[in-house]
Amino acid sequence: MLSFYALFYKELLRIWNGGIQAVLAPVLSTLLYLLIFSHMLEQQTEIYPGVRYTAFLIPGLVMMTVLQIAYSNSSTSLSASKITGNLVFALLAPIAYWEFFLAYVLAAVVRGLVVGTGVYLAALWFAQPPMQFPCWIILFALLGGALLGSLGVVAGIWAENFDQLGGYANFIVTPLTFLSGAFYSIHSLPSFWQQVSRLNPFFYIIDGFRYGFFGVSDISPWLSLAVVSGSLLMLAGFALALLKSGYKLRL
């Protein structure tokens, strides 16, 4: 367990040494989203009764940040170590595959939550969404961060160079986050696209997270919880199996 702790600490120290821009950059881009979308759409749209569009938008943006940051943290850290070769230091050490997995995923969750909190605090300047059920908020933030942290681990193992890694982000992660209902309720979509959205696990993360704020959601938070936990278990199992086999890491 000490080895796990050291690897986890290494990931945090890496982020810390990277400096404050790691938090500021995502906060800035979220503020830009808010500035543009809320101005354009504030008058036209009221998605949930009595909730201003800007307020509606904030949980979605916060969760989108958590997901993207968690994913990029574990995927870039792992693939950079693998591609530049310094992963050898961890591979030489008596670290079990599950300790390895936990360290990367927990670091991704921590970073996702820290930046997500930063974005949330900055967004409060625009609008103040209520917080009906903080437990759901925290639960979905943790699960979402862990799910994308695990996905990042898989991507980091898989990618053989940075172009491939960029490809995964552009063709898989970004479309899934944007089509997750972060900016809208899926009830405002044509029914075909509603059905498609239901195949996207990210939709359940955002919907469940938003339920924690407004107490209203497109589908039951319990269903979201089941889908998200199930996805996490499957993905974590897959990542653990890859790590255990040494796939692309121990040649």
Partner 1 sequence: MLPAVDVRKAHKRYGSLHAVDGVDLRIEQGEFFGLLGPNGAGKTTLINLLAGLARPDSGQFSILGHDVVKQYRTSRRLLGVVPQELVFDPNFNVRETLRLQSGYFGLRHNEAWIDEVMHHLDLTDKAETNMRRLSGGMKRRVLVAQALVHKPPVIVLDEPTAGVDVELRQTMWRFIQQLNRDGHTIVLTTHYLEEAEALCGRIAMLKQGRIMALDSTQNLLGSMAGVRVRLKLAGALPAALLPQIAEQTGEDYLLELPSYQSLEPVLAELRMDGVEIKEMALEQTDLEDVFMRVVGRAC
CB of 117 to partner 1, least distance (A): 23
CB of 78 to partner 1, least distance (A): 12
Taking the CB of residue 249, how many other CB atoms lie within 10 A of it? 19
Task: Give 123's contacts (C-beta < 8 A, 6+ positions apart).
Answer: 30, 31, 34, 58, 61, 62
State which residue, 13 or 131, has the beta carbon closest to partner 1.
13
Taking the CB of residue 4, how many other CB atoms lie within 10 A of it? 17
CB of 13 to partner 1, least distance (A): 7
For helices 221-245 and 201-214, the axis angle rounded to 10 degrees is: 140
CB of 16 to partner 1, least distance (A): 9
Q: Choose among 144, 216, 136: nearest CA to 173.
A: 144
Q: Which residues bind partner 1 (CB under 8 A)?
A: 2-3, 5-7, 9-10, 13-14, 17-18, 81, 84-86, 88-96, 246, 250-251
CB of 182 to partner 1, least distance (A): 31
Q: How far apart are the first and last CA of the chain?
A: 25
CB of 75 to partner 1, least distance (A): 16
State which residue, 9 or 171, has the beta carbon closest to partner 1.
9
In this structure, are residues 115 and 160 in contact, taking their beta carbons and an 8 Å threshold? no
In this structure, are residues 249 and 82 in contact, taking their beta carbons and an 8 Å threshold? yes
Q: CA-CA distance, 61 to 183, in Å (whole number)?
A: 8
DSSP 246: T
